[in-house]
Amino acid sequence: MSTRPADPPSPPLALQPRQVGGRLNAQTLLDGPGFNLLRFVVDAMMLGLAVGAALFGAGRAGVPASGQWSLAAFPPLALLMLYLRGMYSTKLRVLILDGIAPVVGAISIAAMAVVALEVFSQDSRPGPLVARAWLFSLVYVGAARIVLALTQQRARRRGVLAKPTLIVGAGVIGAQVARRLDEVPDYGLQPVGFLDANPPTDVDVGDRRAPVLGAPSELARVATETGASHVILAFTQASDRGLIPLVRQCDALGLQVALVPRLFDSLNERLALEHLGGLPLHGLRSVNPRGWQFAIKHALDRVGAALMLAFLAPLMVTVAVAVRLSSPGPVFFRQPRIGLDDREFAMLKFRTMSGLPEREGEADAAWAAQALGEVHKPQVDEPGSPAPAADRTTPLGGILRATSVDELPQLFNVLRGEMSLVGPRPERASYVRAFENHVYRYGDRHRVKSGLTGWAQVHGYRGQTSLADRVEWDNFYIENWSLWLDVKIMLMTVMAVVRHRG
């Protein structure tokens, strides 16, 4: 008897792509293969415009026209290099900063190839003209790709490109996947339900935001009813061998498949794929926080902190005077925090509140109790009481917090070697011990120095947000650390502060 599923009927009306207002065209152009083709066409146009701009103003700029015919090879070479760097492959999420290095590298290699071609073909000086084409190409291609990425991002956030997605496995990991997709619509995947033959209870899982729609064996029916086009394999009680037929069924139904790998806590971007006969082997390459790379990072931290203190000295002196005159109390607020190797240090901030936390309660006491699963009983002047801690924030302190200027004194902590410019944010010594016993992998954050800003903070996990999510992002940063990641986080921090002020 044939097991081939019947051709699925059209999905319910609510899940069908709407063809009004150009929405179907947007789905075609801004997602999947259509988006890859669109980027290729736009890149080709921008490269052609760049070559034209380089030639058009060469005479007025005093650049010799020698080697102009060799520039005809520049656009196809640049497109080839972009293709080889994976810039036309389908990705779950397009990040602007991640595309800088591949675009610069691809266009630069193409420019060098044109120079070499011209040098070998005739005795001339093609450098200045090619340099103009190279510079115009970086600007034009980079700007066009930023526009395309932002357009796709905006369309996904508006739900135009949301793909109904099924998650196989309704446990803790499956629920975490669903939360991530809900919280970050930029991925373009909308979880509509779980498939699990023996799902854990809601009490065991916690925040499971989508219903369990059936067992994995009911994939064809559920996909038809929901109009799902994407399937994510999370952890289930079924064996890996039992999931192989499910993957093949997804292929037969035309469903895209992704999976959460085993040992995902130990995987990073340095993962190496080898083959032992027909068996794939993943080589795990971990980051050594005590290696020479981190020694360079810490040296650059101190140099960067010294330069920033020198540049920001007028602002910090002005703020210090304003804090001292605006309310009674010290200029700096010192608080014991835990950093590298569980060592305690005094973290500095500009004072933004009146009163003392030892006498009037910690501002985040309710949040800490919630993170530990405890019932918080507020005391006088603590959150939830008639005089909450928020009322102790001075008018100037509110401005300093909103602009993150209150964090600038931590540059002295960096200069003393107690902190880093980028790393997990340090927590109060009074909370750390309890968090280590209740939050998975919390103690792993202390493998590196604490930072002024971090991977969790630039993704919105700052202040009174989920501690478990923050720990997940912090450990991701440590395991995937690179100097470029630090630079990217600092750039994202600046953009986050600007957006917050706006």
Question: Whole-angstrom distance between the N-terminal and C-terminal Cα of the chain?
Answer: 64
> CA torsion 68→69→71→72, rounded to 10°?
150
| Residue finishing a domain among 134, 157, 180 | 157
Q: Is 5 a domain residue? A: no
395: nearest Cα among 454, 436, 353: 353
Say yes or no: 344 and 482 in one domain.
yes
How far apart are alpha carbons 218 and 93 in whole angstroms?
29
- Position 9 scores a pLDDT of 40
In a domain, 225, yes or no: yes
Residue 58 structural domain: 31-157
- Asked if residue 107 lies in contact with residue 78, where contact means CB atoms within 8 angstroms, the answer is yes
**Total number of residues shown for the chain:** 502
Q: Are 328 and 452 in a shared domain? A: yes
**Distance separating alpha carbons of residues 139 and 125, to the nearest angstrom:** 24
Same domain for 263 and 347?
no
Q: Is residue 108 part of a domain?
A: yes
The token pair at 268 is 């990073």
Give the amino acid at 459.
Answer: H
> Which parts of the chain have pLDDT scores under 50?
1-24, 375-387
Q: How many helices (H) and strands (E) does the chain have?
A: 18, 12
Q: How far apart are CA 34 and CA 31, in angstroms?
A: 6
Verify that 347 and 483 share a domain, yes or no: yes
Percent of the chain with pLDDT over 90: 42
Cβ–Cβ under 8 Å, residues 162 and 180 = no
- Is residue 117 domain-shared with residue 227, that is, in the same domain? no
Question: What does the H/E/C string look like for 357-388?
Answer: HHHHCCCCHHHHHHHCCCCCCCCCCCCCCCCC
In the chain, how many domains are there?
3
Is residue 434 in some structural domain?
Answer: yes
Query: What is the model's pLDDT at position 111?
Result: 92
Q: Are residues 297 and 217 in the same domain?
A: no
Q: Angle at CA 337, nearest 5°, toward 335 and 343?
A: 135
Reduce the DSSP state of residue 470 to 3 states and report it: helix
Rounded to whole angstroms, how far apart are CA atoms 447 and 51? 49
Of the candidates 135, 157, 179, which is a domain's last residue? 157
Beta pairing, strands 427-428 & 212-214:
unpaired
Tokens 């008897």 correspond to 1
Residue 112 lies in a domain: yes
Say whether both 233 and 97 belong to one domain.
no
Q: Are residues 195 and 297 in the same domain?
A: no
- In this prediction, residue 60 carries a pLDDT of 66
Task: Please give the Cα distance from 501 to 3 (Å, whole number).
Answer: 58
If asked whether residues 35 and 115 sit together in one domain, one would say yes
Task: Specify the pTM.
Answer: 0.78
Cβ–Cβ under 8 Å, residues 490 and 414: no
**Domain boundary residue, one of 258, 283, 308:** 283
What SS3 string covers 220-284?
HHHHHHHCCCEEEECCCCCCHHHHHHHHHHHHHHCCEEEECCCCHHHCCCCCEEEEECCEEEEEC
Domain-embedded: residue 109:
yes
pLDDT at 434: 82
CB 250, CB 219: distance < 8 Å: yes
Q: What is the pLDDT of residue 130?
A: 85
